[in-house]
Chain A
């Protein structure tokens, strides 16, 4: 489904991604772990099309389609969803306010008719249950005065509404207490199916107890330096990142 080859990206003069290779198939969950500053969030941003970054080399395709040539909105319509690490506050714009246009843009791209107000509301009600979010929150200015948990539940709610092919969760666990973590994970797990895939970007193993990955990759210094199964995450939790760093430093010195 998603194929990343030799992806190099920089911000200003600083190269951050130095040749990422990653293959994600439909139905899989991949975890990207790594120490702070390793490039995890950059990878998530580059996939979503954030324009602060310049891709200097490599290719990214989703279902055979070149993603890098696309504007962020085209990627979203093509099925890429980024759950933001820091969901932005937008005064005066509520979730319901923009989500109807968003859902209908995605539907248009997929050749589906636009949802009318009634069907949209019905769909919202269904998806709201999934992340235990209430209508009042969705009518308020986006993320303004939301708790950490509310922000992240709102991100997953949007994911549920947009039904992406590829969801990228950027440190979705940061700032969540254990109850919120459970709710968010339950939401993500319910949305999994054989036709979509999830990339979970996280610093900690904790989230992976709830969203169990098929593969775990360690990103360090702009490269994937180790890949394995969910056991790798447990090993990192126990031993920290130093041993992986040491191995990688020896290899790329």
Chain B
């Protein structure tokens, strides 16, 4: 499925410098984090360096990066890939009021005032957020057990980079039977101060627990420096557990690679709703591994492409055991000279009989210069399954526009209403009311 071959051209320009830079860093690594002293994490990081050096950054010759050039990253030069310890913690900028418990990450780093600042958040019983740098011995063990088990450093250079270079991060635990109404909001700001900013999050959702997260990626709206962010999240979802994740991207001035990796136990349910509203360049990887039976994985996406922005959504659901379901709906609108890419992989392993897997990708193109590339990719090795996929790309239908005009709405109102309806089908899945309002307002602005 993935081409693991190192790419010699990238390697030649970056590789040697990087090897020495990382070697130096790793040998004298003294970040002071408890987890870094954990031999497993140390090994993981060292291996990740090797994986990155072996792979280099992908080019468009790489099948998985066919339409998405990483030039902006390679142009940074080798020194950008050397992690710099955060000596100065930048101040969080003013952000929206989410009317919910909120954590702000600046350049991927938690802002920690005192010990265990997140204990003050009203998250509900059994739900706990801890910065990697403040984990206790039991949590270190947990991190060592799960970190890097889902995000593949060996086959994804950005995962390798993140794993090799992340400093602090978040561990979010929902203990057995923990259920809360609270939606934890995580705001991601990138200042451009760190050439490459790494965000690392580990979610551990125990049996019968429910965890609700809403990520708002705001990028660097006021900054002059372009920022580059690599955000990797791994989620261990135990049997009968529920994980709901909103991701709303407005990564202004920011090149962004995100990776959302989850593994699901029996009867677990995950829902990821990924809404792209703005930002010059984003690659989202969403990977669900479903080794559990009677589990359900839901993947919803919406992207509003404008200007010369590029939005690349790669999703993968891997049905490993029998009787599980996956539902996927990604919808996009592309105007101006924007480019949108959708690649949806559904793997059904031989043992995964009675799998139901549905995928739909629907695109509206509103200008001649906008591009949409869509590619469903189904690999099914079981014979008793229901799988379907469909992709459409076209303009807004004229018939509904005429109907609404015949009722007295002008063309602009009619188009706006239809676009809102098109987008709402995905926005309605958002669990965060404030993020839904933000997305809805962006749709309304989109045609004007």
Contact = CB atoms under 8 A, between A and B. Distances in A.
Interface of A: 48-51, 71-73, 75-77, 81-82, 84, 87-88, 90-93, 97-99, 101-103, 105-106, 109, 158, 162
A92 B425 CA distance: 7
A75 B402 CA distance: 12
A109 B421 CA distance: 26
Nearest to B413: A101
Given A93-B418, A101-B413, A88 B407 contact: no
Given A98-B417, A101-B413, A90 B403 contact: yes
Given A73-B411, A88-B403, A92-B421, 9 more contacts: A49-B405, A72-B406, A76-B408, A84-B403, A90-B404, A91-B421, A99-B407, A101-B413, A105-B413
Contact of A98 (B399, B404, B425): B404
Cβ-closest 10 pairs across A and B: A92-B421, A76-B408, A72-B405, A102-B407, A105-B408, A102-B408, A73-B405, A93-B421, A90-B400, A88-B403
A113 B128 CA distance: 54
B399 A49 contact: no
B421 A76 contact: no
Nearest to A161: B407
Contacts of A81: 406
Nearest to A75: B406
Interface string B363-406: 00000000000000000000000000000000000011011111
Contacts of B413: 101, 105
B428 to A, nearest CB: 9
A72 B408 CA distance: 7
A205 B111 CA distance: 78
26 contacts: A49-B405, A51-B402, A71-B405, A72-B402, A73-B407, A73-B409, A73-B410, A75-B406, A76-B408, A77-B408, A88-B399, A88-B403, A90-B421, A92-B425, A93-B417, A93-B418, A97-B417, A98-B409, A98-B417, A102-B409, A103-B408, A105-B409, A105-B413, A158-B407, A162-B407, A162-B408
A93 B402 CA distance: 14
B405 A76 contact: yes
A88 to B, nearest CB: 5
Of the listed residues A76, A82, A87, A93, the one surrounded by the most CB atoms of chain B closer than 10 A to its CB is A93
A76 B417 CA distance: 18
Nearest to A50: B402
Contacts of B420: 92
Contacts of A88: 399-400, 403
Contacts of B417: 93, 97-98, 101
A73 B408 contact: yes
Contact of B406 (A76, A91, A92, A99): A76
A51 B418 CA distance: 19
Nearest to B425: A92
A127 to B, nearest CB: 14
A45 B421 CA distance: 26
A49 B413 CA distance: 17
Of the listed residues B404, B407, B408, the one surrounded by the most CB atoms of chain A closer than 10 A to its CB is B408
B422 interface: yes
Contacts of A73: 405-411
A215 B418 CA distance: 39
Of the listed residues A87, A102, A106, the one surrounded by the most CB atoms of chain B closer than 10 A to its CB is A102
A71 B402 CA distance: 10
Contacts of A91: 421, 425
A49 B406 contact: yes
Nearest to A141: B421
A102 B409 CA distance: 6
A8 B418 CA distance: 33
A69 B358 CA distance: 48
B154 interface: no
Contacts of B411: 71, 73
B411 to A, nearest CB: 7
B424 A92 contact: yes
Contact of A82 (B399, B406, B418): B406
A228 to B, nearest CB: 30
A167 to B, nearest CB: 12
Nearest to A94: B421
A158 B408 CA distance: 11
B23 to A, nearest CB: 55
A84 B399 CA distance: 11
Contacts of A71: 405, 410-411
A188 to B, nearest CB: 17
Contacts of B404: 90, 98, 102
Contacts of B399: 88
Given A50-B402, A101-B413, A76 B425 contact: no
Interface in B305-361: none
A71 to B, nearest CB: 7
Nearest to A93: B421
A76 B404 CA distance: 10
Contacts of B424: 92
Nearest to A109: B408
Contacts of A162: 407-408
Contacts of A103: 408
B409 A101 contact: yes
A50 B402 CA distance: 7
Of the listed residues B406, B421, B422, the one surrounded by the most CB atoms of chain A closer than 10 A to its CB is B406
A92 B405 CA distance: 17
A114 B306 CA distance: 34
Contacts of B410: 71, 73, 105
A188 B402 CA distance: 23
A65 to B, nearest CB: 16
